[in-house]
Structure 1
Amino acid sequence: MEQLVEIPVFPLSILPLPNELIPLHIFENRYRELLQDIEDKGGVFGIYYTHGLNTDRIGSLMKLEGILKRYDSGESDVVTKCIDTFLLTKFYNQWLPKPYPGGEVYMLHVNAEQQVSQRFSDEFRAYMALKKVSDVGTDFNIHDIANELNLDIGDRLKYLRLLTNDKRESFLRERLKYQKFILQQELKHKDNFYLN
C-alpha cells in the first residue's frame, strides 16, 4: 500500500475534477502565505470539499497554473489545475509551523488510466457536434469528458468514487445520454415558443 503524504489543504465548497481549471481569489492572510510558499518552492496543495455529502473525504490535488492579478491589498487572482484526487485521512486546522491548514492524504492516481473506448469517443464527438462544437481534437480523455458534461456536485462525488476507467465510462455514458436528450429536445422545440 502506498504511504500517506502530507500536503497543504484549502477547505472549500467546490470539488474540482481532474484536468479542470479553477480560478481562485486569495484574500485571507494564511492562504496568501500558502500561495507564496507554492510560488517560492513549487509544489501542490489540496482542495478539500467541505460538505456533509463527502463521507469518503475526497479532495482534489491542485497545481498553480498562473497568477492573473495581484492587488495592492495583497490579494491575488490565480488559476489552478486539478492534477489528481486524494482521500483525506487527517486534517490539521493549522499545519504547524504554517498558519494554513494541511492534512495527510492518500493519492488516488486518477490519471494513470484515462483513455476512453472508441465507441464512447464517437458518442462524445456526436454530442459535441450536436452542440455545434467541431474542434474536439483527438487527445481528450475520460476526465475531459466529465468536465464537459458539467456534472453537479453529487455526480462529481459519484464519479470520483469510481476507481476504474470502465466504471467511469459507464457512469459518464448515462450522463452523456441524458445531456444529449435534453439538447435534442431544446433543438426540437426551439422554434415552438411564441411570445404573447
Structure 2
Amino acid sequence: MTNFISIFPLGIVVYPGEQLNLHVFEPRYKQLARECVAENKPFGIPAVIDKKIMEYGTLVTIEKVEKLYDNGEMDLVTRGTSVFRTLEHIGDIPDKLYAGAIVNYPENHAGSNARLLDEVLHGIRELHAILQVHKKFPKEDARLTAYDLAHHAGLSLTEEYELLHLFYELQRLEYLKRHLHKVIPMMAEMERLKERVKLNGHFRNLSAGDL
C-alpha cells in the first residue's frame, strides 16, 4: 500500500508496538496533532540522524490526549504501528505548517526463534547487571520481540535505525545478539578498570603465594 501521511520528524527511532509520550509545542506540530486527533488519523515519525530526515520511520496512532494546555500545546500518548519507507518528501502542503510524505509499508516478517530470543534476553540481562540497571519488561519473555528489546540493548541511534529497516524478526534478533556479544566484554572490562582505579591508594591484603 502507498499513501500520503503527515510527518513529525524526531531525533529518535520509534518501533512498532512502542508507546511514545510526546509533548507537542511547536505551532506546526500543534496543527498536525489537532488534525490527527479530530480526524482519528495516524502520522509518521521518520528518524532524524545527523540533521537529516531518514528514509524509514514508523507510523504512530494517538491513543490519548493526556493534557491539553491553554496555549494549544499537548501531551500525547502514541503507539507505533508499522514501519514505512518514504518515497517522496513533500515539504509544502497548502494551508499546512507541517510537512508530509508519500510512503509505502515494506512487508514485515514476524516469525521468531525461541533459542535466539533466549540468547538475546540473557545478553541484555547480563549487560544490565554489569551496568547495575534494573528493568522489567511489560510482557512475559516468550512474547517479547526484537522491537521490545532494542531500546534496552545499548544501541546507538544509528544502530537503532539500522534495526528499524530489517524486515525479518530473525534478522533483528541476530543483529541484537551480535551487538551484545561485542559490547558485553567491553563493558565488563570497563567495570574491572573502574574497580582497579577505586583500589588505587587503598590498603590491600596482597600475597605473591608460596614463591
Distance 1:25 1:109 in 2: 31
Deviation of 1:128 (Å): 4.4
Deviation of 1:105 (Å): 0.3
1:57 partner SS: strand
Tell me what 1:42 maps to: 40
Compared CA separation, residues 90 and 22, structure 1 to 2 (3 A)? same
Tell me what 1:18 maps to: 16
Show the 5 A alignment for 1:108-123: 108-110=106-108, 113-123=109-119
Deviation of 1:79 (Å): 2.8
Aligned residues: 192
Distance 1:101 1:62 in 2: 16
Deviates more, 1:184-193 or 1:133-142: 184-193
Deviation of 1:62 (Å): 1.2
1:158 partner SS: helix
Compared CA separation, residues 125 and 47, structure 1 to 2 (3 A)? closer
Distance 2:93 2:81 in 1: 22
Bigger CA radius of gyration: 2
1:88 partner SS: strand
1:166 aligns with 2:170: yes
Tell me what 2:71 maps to: 73
Q: Which amino acid aligns with 1:102?
A: G
Q: Which amino acid aligns with 1:35?
A: A
Structure 2 gap segments, 5+ residues each: 202-211
1:126 to 122, 125, 132: 122
Contact 2:47 2:56 in 1 (8 A): yes
Compared CA separation, residues 58 and 129, structure 1 to 2 (3 A)? closer
Tell me what 2:94 maps to: 96
Q: Which amino acid aligns with 2:25?
A: F
1:119 partner SS: helix
Contact 1:61 1:85 in 2 (8 A): yes
Distance 1:5 1:38 in 2: 16
Q: Which amino acid aligns with 2:65?
A: I
1:18 partner SS: coil
Q: Which amino acid aligns with 1:127?
A: G
Deviates more, 1:91-100 or 1:27-36: 91-100
Query: Residues 135-172 of structure 1, C-alpha deviation per residue, up to 9 Å, x if partnerless?
Result: 55232112112232142122123212322233222211
Distance 2:135 2:74 in 1: 35
Amino-acid identity (%):
23
1:86 aligns with 2:90: no
1:151 to 151, 155, 171: 155
Distance 1:169 1:79 in 2: 27
Tell me what 2:145 maps to: 141
Deviation of 1:53 (Å): 8.6
- Taking only aligned residues, the RMSD between alpha carbons, in angstroms, comes to 2.8
